[in-house]
Each structure stands twice: as structure tokens, then as C-alpha cells.
Amino acid sequence: MSEQSIEANTSTRVRIIHLADNSGKLQVIFAYDSMLDMAALSRLTKRRFDPVANYNIEGDPLVKPNTCSTIIDSSLLTSDVIELRYSATQSYKSYTQEEFASRFKGPLTRYERIAIPVSKIECPVDDLNQDAAQMQAALGKFQSMRLQQRLEETLEVPPLPASSHRIIQLCSDENAGTDDLCDVISLDPSLSAQVISWASSPYYGVQGEIDSVEDAIIRVLGFDMVMNLALGLSMGNAFQLPKNGPRHYNDFWFSAVSHAVLMEELVRKMPSGDRPRLGHAYLAGLLHNFGYLAIAVVLPPHFGILSRYIEANAHLPSEIIEMQTLHFTKEQLGAWLLKHWGLPESIYTAVRYSKTVSYEGQHNRLAHLLYLCHQLFNDDKLDPGILNVLNLTLDEAKLCHQKVMSSSSELTKMVGLISGNK
């Protein structure tokens, strides 16, 4: 087929993933704008595969046809032109349907329905007040009652430390001052040590020793920051990372701390009249992915399934995979839980809408700051509309990100204050 006739047809770009189990390997090929359905593969093969690579956004290299068992999504049979590349370092090449089929004919290759078009996957509801209903509908009537029970149990098991409850109460007290905050934090010696060590981090470049929580408040971080930092640290102490999560999520707390300090940097660059509260921005960054932990605690079997899907579909945003496997997102569940724990509305609202570029409701600046953080950490093209809402320039946003990334060694030490040896 000529180049001109190829260009005249609609092309389908494909993704290649290698899977394996104890019996051997399997290569799957499916459309890039689709999600690999691991359950469908299990039904077809009567085997339980896991991705060979732990988190491969670019996709795996093509194994020479007819040397490895290969399943190709049957939707590709309707494509006039298929774009394929042999490895992540090579360019895509266009093949006609006939050319593609001739390369993959043989006893080791078959066509099956193994992928779900992203366009057919349900979206989250628009209003966070409808989240509970969507989560209940997702698991059916019996399961929803169990989910509701588990969510309510989560308020007690694992319990939030007493210091978290006290700080949440302090957040709503407009008359609270430095002495009140110091008194609350000092009741938890471990938390006191964490706050002091955090303020002493080379990231903040303070001169001299920080030897008390009061010092951390007055000389380095400020009242609002310490209050919200202490809340985030105490909540972090209550949750352990799940053992059966996606393999690349070992850096969960590094992502949390990085988001927190980037939120801080971005807020400081905003015009003073437009800024959200610095402490709230910091806490929203620290807890932006809290729903991930909530899923692991509340729905352990579902979490294990979700983890395999995330690894196999690293090219897709997490919310798409969550909607297909759980029918709600970690942002929905995380916000639900934070709201029921009594955190400030700005925090759970920002977390809930942190992936929603069109959100224009209350606390939208905080939500958009989180969205901007996601874009910066994922090396996505920055949305000019978001920058405009936040009154930030492209250069300012990138410089903030560069500052955070250049301080990765200091941030790693700060992460150790949360994760410890847990």
C-alpha cells in the first residue's frame, strides 16, 4: 500500500505487553487507547498472568512473531492501518491490515477480545456529594452495605492517633494559638520529634538548631504549616503501605512529600490575594493519594486486582483503571474518608477534584494546584487554563518543580520521618 493511501485511512496505534506465570510467557497486543482486561485473559487462558515489567509506560519490545504465544485484541481486525513499533527506542511504522495479519499468522497467535476501549469506561460522578451513592452502586446492594460498614470501621480500625483528633479539633478553633498547638503536639513525643526534624531539614535551610516545636513554628514553618504538617504526619503514622500493591508504588511517601513541598512552592509564587492557605496546600499535597491506602485497608481483595491492572496498563491515567475495576476512584474514596474524619472541607474537596481540570467550584484553586502538580511530576504539557486560574506562568511552575526535584536527597530524609521502618 502506498504512503498516501495509508495516510487516508484511520490508524490504530498498538501497545505490546509481556506477561508471565509459572507455565511461561505471553505477549499481548492491543490498541493504545484501550485498557488490557486481565480478567478476560484469565478466562481465555485459564491462567493468572502478571506483567513482566513492573511499570512500563512505553510498552515492551515486540517478540519475533511465531516464537512466543501471542494474543491480539480482535478489535484490530477492523482497523485499516495498524501502527506498530518493535521497541520503545524505535519509531512507529504503519502496516495495512493484510500486512499486519501476515506477520502474525501461525499456531502461536490468536485473536481474542482482551481490551476495553477507554471511551467505553464509565466516568466518576461530577458531585462529591454523590460519591457515596456511586461507590454503593458499584459493589451491589449486599456489597455496598459491607463497604459502608468497612468504611465506618476504618474510622476506628486502624484508629487515627489521638493527636490527629486533637489537631482536627484545633483546625476548627479560630482562637487557637501557638501555645495550644505546641501543647497538642507535645502530647505525642514521636510526633514532636518528627515536626522538629522536619523543620530542621536542609530543604528549609534554617540557621542554627531547632530544639522545640515552638521553634519550628516561629522560626521556620509558621503556625498554619505546622498544624497541617502535624496532622499529615500523625495520619501517616496510622497507615502502613500495603504489601500487595503495584511494584512501582514503593515510592508512595516520596510522592506524598514531593507533592506537599511542590504545593508549598507554587503557593508562594501565586499573588498574595489569590493564595489558598499555605498549610492547607501542604496537607492536600501530603494526602493527595490517601485513597490508595484507603482502598488497600477497606477493600484488600479489590486492591490486589487493581494493582495488577495498574501494572499492565501503565500508559493510562490511574482514574480510568480504577473506574473500570472498582467503578470509583481513589480520589472519591479518599475524599469520602477525609470528610468523615472531619478534615477541613478545602482538603477533601481539593483531593476529590485533583484530576478534574474542569472543576470550578469552591476551593478550585487548591484542586487546580494539585492538578498542576500531577502534570509537572508526570512531565505532561502544562494546561494554560490552569496556569491562568492560578496566576502562575509556565516558567514559574517549571522552576518550582526543578527546585523540588533538585532536593530529592533532602526529601528522602523527610520521607523517612513518616515511613520509618514500617
Between 410 and 422, the higher pLDDT residue: 410
Residues 318 and 410 in one domain: yes
C-alpha span between 59 and 57 (Å, rounded): 6
Which ranges in 81-158 belong to alpha helices (H)? 97-103, 131-154
Full residue range of the structural domain in which residue 362 is found: 128-158+239-419
Same domain, 109 and 244: no
| CATH number of the domain residue 400 falls in | 1.10.3210.10
Residue with the larger pLDDT of the pair 168 and 157: 168
For the chain, what's the residue count?
A: 422
Q: Which of 23-27, 294-298, 334-338 has the lowest mean pLDDT?
A: 294-298
**Position 178 in a domain:** no
Both 246 and 105 in a single domain?
A: no
Looking at residue 410, its pLDDT comes to 87
* φ and ψ at residue 34, rounded to 5 degrees: -130, 170
pLDDT of residue 161: 72
Convert 406-418 to b/e letters by CB count within 10 Å (16 or more is b): ebeebbeebbebb
367-380 residues labelled b (16+ CB within 10 A) or e (exposed): bbbbbbbebbeeee
Q: Look up residue 288 and give its DSSP letter.
A: T
For residues 107 and 250, membership in a common domain is answered with: no
pLDDT for res 145? 57
pLDDT in tens, 280-330: 999 999 999 988 888 887 777 788 889 899 999 999 999 999 999 999 999
Asked if 134 and 86 sit in the same domain, the reply is no
Same domain, 244 and 357: yes
The pLDDT confidence band at residue 4, using thresholds 50, 70 and 90, is very low
Q: What confidence score (pLDDT) does residue 422 get?
A: 44
Are 60 and 132 in the same domain? no
Q: What is the pLDDT of residue 203?
A: 86
Co-location of 153 and 60 in the same domain:
no
Residue 255 and residue 106 share a domain: no
State pLDDT tens for residues 67-87.
899 999 999 999 999 999 999
CB-CB contact of 366 with 280 (8 Å): yes
pTM of the full structure: 0.86
Both 252 and 137 in one domain: the answer is yes
Higher pLDDT, 174 or 277: 277
Could you tell me the CATH number of the domain that includes residue 60?
A: 3.90.960.10
- Residue 83 backbone phi and psi in degrees, to 5: -100, 125
CA atoms within 13 A on the CB side of 43: 7
Among 55, 90, 120, identify where a domain stops: 120
Per-residue pLDDT band at 13 (split at 50, 70, 90): very high
Task: List pLDDT tens digits, range 130-149.
Answer: 998 888 788 665 455 556 66
When pLDDT is cut at 50, 70 and 90, the band that residue 355 belongs to is very high
Asked, for residue 225, whether it belongs to a domain, the answer is: no
The domain total for the chain is 2
Whether omega for the bond prior to residue 61 falls within 30 degrees of 0, making it cis, is: no
User: 419 pLDDT band (50/70/90 cuts)?
Assistant: low
